[in-house]
A = this chain, B = another copy of it.
Amino acid sequence: MQFLFIFILVIASVTLPADEGMWEPYQMSELKNEVRQAGFRRNINSISSPFEYPMNAIVSLGGCSASFVSPNGLIATNYHCIEGSYLQYNSSQENNLFETGFVARSLDEEKRSAPGARVYITLSSSDITEKVLAGISDTTENSQRANIIEANRKNIINACETSAEIECRVRSFFSGETFKLEKVRVIKDVRLVYAPPASIGEYGGEIDNWMYPRHTGDFALLRAYVSADGTSQEFNTANVPYASKNYLKISARGVDEGDFVMVLGYPGRTNRLLTMNEIDYDLTVGFQGVVDYLDHGIALIDEHTNQEDGSALKYRGTKSGYENYYKKISGQIDGADNFQLLQYEQANWNKFLTFVENELSSEDQEYLARLLSLIDTQQARALPNRYYGRSTLISTAKRLYRNAFEQEKPNAERKPGYQDRDQERLLNGLRGLSYRFDPRVDKAIFLDRLLTYASFAPELRRPVYSAMLDLDLGAAAIRSKVDQIYSSQYQTPEAFLELASMTIEQMNASADPLLVLARETFAESLEYEADAESEGAEKQLLKSKFIKMLRAFYESEGRSIYADANGTLRVTYGNVKSVTLEDGLLYQPFTTLEGIPAKHSGQEPFNAPQKLLKLIDDKDYGKYEVKALGSVPVNFIANLDITNGNSGSATINRNFELVGLAFDGMLETIIADYRYIPQARTISVDSRYMLWTLDKFHGAENILNELTITN
């Protein structure tokens, strides 16, 4: 693999444009004028609360976004969001849903998800910064600071989680300067209702990924189920569809160029408020390290998996995740170069430093120096740490050992992640390994990563772990040690579940090499964990100080500031809009059906179904045709500000109707995670293509009847 070399126009972004940002809903009222200017006509309050319509139709799948689209719990999201827990889980060599697609013609036919697949409905969000930091001061010793914050968080969550279907999370905004409590309802029985074949749902595959023009039918439908009494329960045939009184209508009229659109969803992470040291590290060292790691990881999966024993299918998700991330980081490397990110950020940082020196206290200056020093320390450990671990077998055993250890304590005193509330998720995680773990492949990949880890200087490695694995005795010794560990009797999800039921005494009494490793490295793991937590607490303090300085600096420049994406509900608004990223070339707002046969080669990922090609050849557009295009639009672009996690988000028009599902950005501007890029575009699958596919390709009348389709 090599980096894509992208020709791109360098632009000098002078001021922040009004439509920048992944806003928290409450901020919309402050943006009233800007939103109106973009074409929004309703009362701004209607999009200022996550708990009112339309925002309360938006849900999270954990990693992806989604939305209710019927009063009976029907959920629309991206095809690529359901590949693992729904398609892979329900597929076999004989019955491969990636090939066939899936349409449930009745509720009976809907397919259950892998254990642990969830839908999360946000119920409330409130600022709890004071409660999280209660009992500490800026001078509290770090480990004590860590312990107090952890205790505070546990108490807050404990008080919040009033029932089994409620999950509460303390969310950090602005790198821990602000904390909010998010209360979420968890739907535990989610089923597959509809997915097109991969030859529609991921048409273009890895080649077209992060690219436009695009022709991907990246949509699918799920359904939330609850028990008959309305409470959230695990899968049970007696469960009934969830009554989702807030849901989005689907527009069959769709959008035109220039139309106002919004995306409501759960973006995962951006890095727009970093120190220069962090940006510089990522651009000059970090990105490349990740790219190397992923590139080799893809090669390892290719080498050690095959179709025959099903391992290729099991690692399909991991591999496609690696490829996706690889391409993204490569695009960020090029984008940083094209948009001169380093130069821009350095200039900005220099101004910030001048401001700090001239305007802020010596105390602040000292905090900043401490923060940068801490960051430098952490960066020095980043590369070896990337190669530490990397065995699903070992990490599972260690987690179960830890869990058994924690179970000896009263629930309230246990480490977060090992409390009663966490047990169900832990077991589901073990069960889920059945479709994405193969001990033979796991071992081969681990050994390779371990040999790299062993190549770092001893002082950069964990000493006990290194000794246990003979890391200083050469490759043959290491290989033999790994052979020994992987001779463990605990190699399957069933065996892991058996392990999960053992007490710490039973585990300690075992001579199984896997448990011996978990036991012998346990003290070291705890020590490293405590150090990391202590360092984390210090960083939270220092970053809080930094953010306050940054706020003052932004204010001095008349610039507004907003929190980086952190997996919480955000709003971005803009317009359906073409873009020029290369002189002389215009990306048009819409792609059409005709682009599908044009890309069709018969070879994956450009292997459109014959029936689809026939429909297009026959110009069987039905009522979904757009006269101006002379066809049905497939995907469209809009200047919306999204990132990973937004996948599956509803793209809605000014009437709050679903006009598409956001599923991708463009590689050329993917560096927007680090700095807003006005030319960045969100790619959505068009509602008209979704409806056309359901109608003409699948004849899915039951689904079309359930949707509320507007014209």
Contacts and interface: CB of A to CB of B under 8 A. Distances in A.
Contact of A7 (B7, B588, B598): B598
Contacts of A7: 595, 598-599
B585 A213 contact: yes
Nearest to A606: B7
Nearest to A635: B584
A9 B578 CA distance: 19
Interface in A561-588: 578, 580, 582-588
Nearest to A598: B9
A13 to B, nearest CB: 15
Contacts of A597: 10
A213 B582 contact: yes
Contacts of A583: 213, 215, 591-592, 594-595, 598
A597 B9 CA distance: 8
A597 B585 CA distance: 16
Contact of A586 (B212, B588, B594, B598): B588
A502 B49 CA distance: 99
Interface string A203-236: 0000000001111000000000000000000000
B213 A584 contact: yes
A290 to B, nearest CB: 23
Interface string A187-206: 00000000000000000000
A8 interface: yes
A590 interface: yes
A584 B588 CA distance: 5
Nearest to A8: B598
A585 B10 CA distance: 20
A597 B599 CA distance: 31
Number of copies: 2
A579 to B, nearest CB: 11
Contacts of A214: 584
B594 A9 contact: yes
Nearest to A597: B10
For A580, A582, A598, A599, which residue has the most chain B Cβ atoms within 10 angstroms? A598
A587 B10 CA distance: 19
A487 B96 CA distance: 69
Nearest to A581: B598
Contacts of A213: 582-585
For A5, A338, A583, A590, which residue has the most chain B Cβ atoms within 10 angstroms? A583
A298 to B, nearest CB: 21
Nearest to A9: B598
Interface in A584-633: 584-588, 590-592, 594-595, 597-599, 601
Contacts of A582: 213, 595, 598
A592 B601 CA distance: 35
A580 B590 CA distance: 12
Contacts of A590: 584
A597 B583 CA distance: 10
B585 A585 contact: yes
A214 B7 CA distance: 12
B10 A598 contact: yes
Nearest to A583: B595
Interface in A418-473: none
Interface string A679-701: 00000000000000000000000
A212 to B, nearest CB: 7
Contacts of A8: 598
Nearest to A592: B583
A587 B584 contact: yes
Contact of A587 (B5, B215, B585, B592): B585
A590 B595 CA distance: 24
Contacts of A595: 7, 9, 582-584
Interface in A73-94: none
A104 to B, nearest CB: 32
A585 B586 contact: yes
Contacts of A591: 583-584
A580 B588 contact: yes
For A584, A591, A594, which residue has the most chain B Cβ atoms within 10 angstroms? A584
Contact of A212 (B584, B588, B594, B598): B584
Nearest to A637: B584
Contacts of A9: 594-595, 598
For A7, A578, A591, which residue has the most chain B Cβ atoms within 10 angstroms? A7
A70 to B, nearest CB: 31
Nearest to A580: B588
Contacts of A338: 598
Interface string A250-280: 0000000000000000000000000000000
A507 B580 CA distance: 67
Contacts of A588: 580, 584-586
A582 B635 CA distance: 14
A21 to B, nearest CB: 27
Nearest to A589: B584
For A8, A585, A597, which residue has the most chain B Cβ atoms within 10 angstroms? A585
Nearest to A600: B7
A638 B298 CA distance: 45
Contacts of A212: 584
A684 to B, nearest CB: 13
A212 B5 CA distance: 16
A578 B584 CA distance: 9
For A8, A212, A580, A586, which residue has the most chain B Cβ atoms within 10 angstroms? A586
A675 B578 CA distance: 32
Nearest to A10: B598
Interface string A238-254: 00000000000000000
Contacts of A635: 584
Contacts of A580: 588
A163 B230 CA distance: 105
11 contacts: A5-B601, A7-B598, A9-B595, A9-B598, A213-B584, A578-B586, A582-B595, A583-B595, A584-B635, A585-B585, A585-B587
> Which 7 A-B pairs give the minimum distances between C-beta atoms?
A213-B584, A583-B595, A584-B591, A586-B586, A584-B588, A9-B598, A583-B591
Given A7-B598, A585-B586, 16 more contacts: A7-B595, A7-B599, A9-B595, A9-B598, A10-B598, A212-B584, A213-B583, A213-B584, A213-B585, A338-B598, A582-B595, A584-B588, A584-B592, A585-B585, A585-B588, A586-B586
